[in-house]
Amino acid sequence: KAGVTQTPRYLIKTRGQQVTLSCSPISGHRSVSWYQQTPGQGLQFLFEYFSETQRNKGNFPGRFSGRQFSNSRSEMNVSTLELGDSALYLCASAPLGGNTEAFFGQGTRLTVV
């Protein structure tokens, strides 16, 4: 099976712009979660989607949003980018609603200048 695929791998944006990141989960997986990793804050949970519904949400401002499509692919959007949004954004997929291994993609490295 193909693993979790995130696109693009690298992205450079300017402050104030918006960005959309994409995640294709492992075939058959219905849960997709997003995480932000920075040197200062470590790995932090953004949100989780299961069967097109947001099920859990982390403590991030409303500028961060996401969605999941009927084929389980997910996108996350960050509007009005700030320098502090520079981070590695990781997507994880899991087959079920919980209590299972979560598998991560290679991440999207976002740099805001």
Binding site for other proteins (CB under 8 A): 4, 6, 31, 33, 35, 37, 42-45, 48, 50, 55-56, 58-59, 88, 90, 92, 94, 97-107, 109
Cβ proximity to other proteins: between 18 and 29 the closer is: 29
Cβ proximity to other proteins: between 51 and 80 the closer is: 51
- Provide, rounded to whole angstroms, the least separation between the CB of residue 91 and other proteins: 9
- Provide, rounded to whole angstroms, the least separation between the CB of residue 16 and other proteins: 26
3-state helix, strand, coil in the chain (%, to 5): 5, 55, 45
- Provide, rounded to whole angstroms, the least separation between the CB of residue 62 and other proteins: 19
Instruction: Say if residues 91 and 82 touch (Cβ distance below 8 Å).
Output: no
- Provide, rounded to whole angstroms, the least separation between the CB of residue 1 and other proteins: 14
The CA-atom distances, in angstroms, between 31 and each of 17, 21, 50, 104, 111 are 28, 17, 4, 12, 27
Token duo for residue 12: 């450079």
Whether residue 39 is preceded by a cis peptide bond, meaning omega within 30 degrees of 0, is no
Cβ proximity to other proteins: between 78 and 87 the closer is: 87
Amino acid identity at 54: Q
